[in-house]
């Protein structure tokens, strides 16, 4: 394994089930040969699909990448609920569905959950309350009041026909959602809309940080291919940024590389990505209180 200390960008991994997001980061770190590696949005071990991994200076963008929409496909089973809201947990409630719900009833329940909603995070989640993760309380059998969180559901819909068997009903769905949305809870809330317990029975992330699974590499390939081929999978930082670009003059570059604030550029509500000799150097944000542009992300001052 060669060691590269200056690999900056993103690599998109198609995470298999049964592997943690931490495992993926560790394997990418070994394959690339550098320590500065992180991911933009955890996937539970039993969920497969897109995991966006940031390398080097691109790790500065993780907070921004996590704000971008995510998309999932999966399945929901009506008729029982588990402690984890997916198939990993023990069943905590169950009812027989003697008469299957119509497609129209299911679609109405789903439609009611589109837009801005409030969610109560699952007990088996990493949300912190009083300095402890919710899953720590759950494993200890302790009760705790869970915080209500806001989520934005851009597009949640049923795909394909519903299946009724063994007094349960199943259907597949697709959901495009904001950061912080719990798809497991979305499944449970769909059941609540219908008046029955529900469980997320499978889930795949098909898009993360706006990058689709078509751009994802298999984890086994990342661990085994030649490094020259691995480096071809890296998405450069300049291809990740979506903000307007400003080419810097020599004087402007001198100011930027020294971290100076700039008051001469027109005000704007969006960030500016700054280039010098066609190389992305930094991102600046406008401070409305002080009426100046100031550093938001710095990639290099060389």
For the structural domain made of 242-298, what CATH number should be given? 2.30.130.10
Mean pLDDT of 54-72: 94
Residues 81 and 198: beta-carbon distance below 8 Å: yes
Q: Is 44 a catalytic residue?
A: yes
- Express as a percent the part of the chain with pLDDT over 70: 98
Burial of 267 (C-beta count, 10 Å sphere; 0-12/13-18/19+): exposed
pLDDT of 118: 93
| Selection from 161, 185, 156 nearest residue 172 by Cα | 161
Give phi and psi for 106, each to the nearest 5.
-65, -45
Distance of alpha carbon 4 from alpha carbon 1, whole angstroms:
9
pLDDT of residue 216 exceeding 90: yes
pLDDT of 5: 58
For the structural domain made of 70-203, what CATH number should be given? 3.30.2350.10
- Could you tell me the pTM of the whole model? 0.89
pLDDT of 191: 97
| Selection from 94, 89, 49 nearest residue 204 by Cα | 49
Residues in the chain: 302
Strand-pairing partners, residue 298, are: 282
Structure tokens at 231: 């480096």
**Range(s) for CATH 3.30.2350.10 in the chain?**
9-68+210-238, 70-203
pLDDT of 134: 76
pLDDT of 132: 76
Distance of alpha carbon 25 from alpha carbon 35, whole angstroms:
10
* CATH tag for 9-68+210-238 (out of 2.40.160.10, 3.40.50.2000, 3.30.2350.10, 3.40.720.10): 3.30.2350.10
Catalytic residue among 8, 23, 44, 63: 44
Reported as a single tens digit per residue, the pLDDT across 17-56 is 999 999 999 999 999 999 999 999 888 888 999 999 999 9
**Range(s) for CATH 2.30.130.10 in the chain?**
242-298
Residues 184 and 23: beta-carbon distance below 8 Å: no
């Amino acid at each position: 394994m060669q060691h590269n200390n200056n690999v900056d960008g993103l690599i998109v991994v198609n995470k298999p089930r049964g592997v943690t997001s931490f495992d993926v980061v560790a394997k990418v770190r070994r394959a690339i040969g550098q320590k500065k590696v992180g991911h933009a949005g955890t996937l539970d071990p039993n969920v497969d699909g897109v995991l966006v991994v940031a390398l080097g200076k691109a790790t500065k963008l993780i907070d921004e990448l996590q704000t971008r929409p995510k998309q999932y496909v999966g399945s929901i089973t009506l008729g029982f609920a588990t402690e984890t809201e997916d198939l990993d947990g023990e069943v905590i409630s169950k009812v027989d569905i003697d008469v299957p719900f119509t497609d129209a009833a299911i679609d109405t329940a789903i439609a009611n959950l589109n837009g801005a909603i409030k969610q109560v995070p699952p007990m088996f989640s990493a949300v912190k309350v009083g300095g402890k993760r919710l899953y720590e309380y759950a494993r200890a059998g302790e009760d705790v009041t869970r915080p209500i969180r806001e989520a934005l559901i851009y597009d949640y819909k049923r795909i394909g026909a519903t299946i009724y068997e063994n007094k349960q009903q199943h259907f597949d769905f697709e959901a495009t959602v904001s950061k912080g949305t719990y798809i497991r809870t979305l499944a449970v809330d769909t059941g609540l809309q219908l008046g029955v317990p529900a469980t997320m029975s499978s889930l795949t992330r098909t898009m993360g940080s706006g990058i689709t699974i078509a751009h994802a590499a298999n984890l086994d390939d990342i661990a085994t291919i030649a490094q020259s081929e691995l480096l071809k999978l890296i998405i450069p930082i300049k291809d990740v940024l979506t903000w307007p670009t400003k080419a810097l003059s020599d004087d402007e570059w001198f100011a930027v590389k020294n971290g100076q604030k700039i008051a001469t550029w027109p005000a704007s509500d969006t960030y500016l990505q700054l280039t010098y000799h066609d190389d992305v150097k930094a991102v600046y944000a406008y401070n409305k209180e002080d009426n100046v542009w100031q550093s938001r992300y710095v990639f290099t001052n060389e």
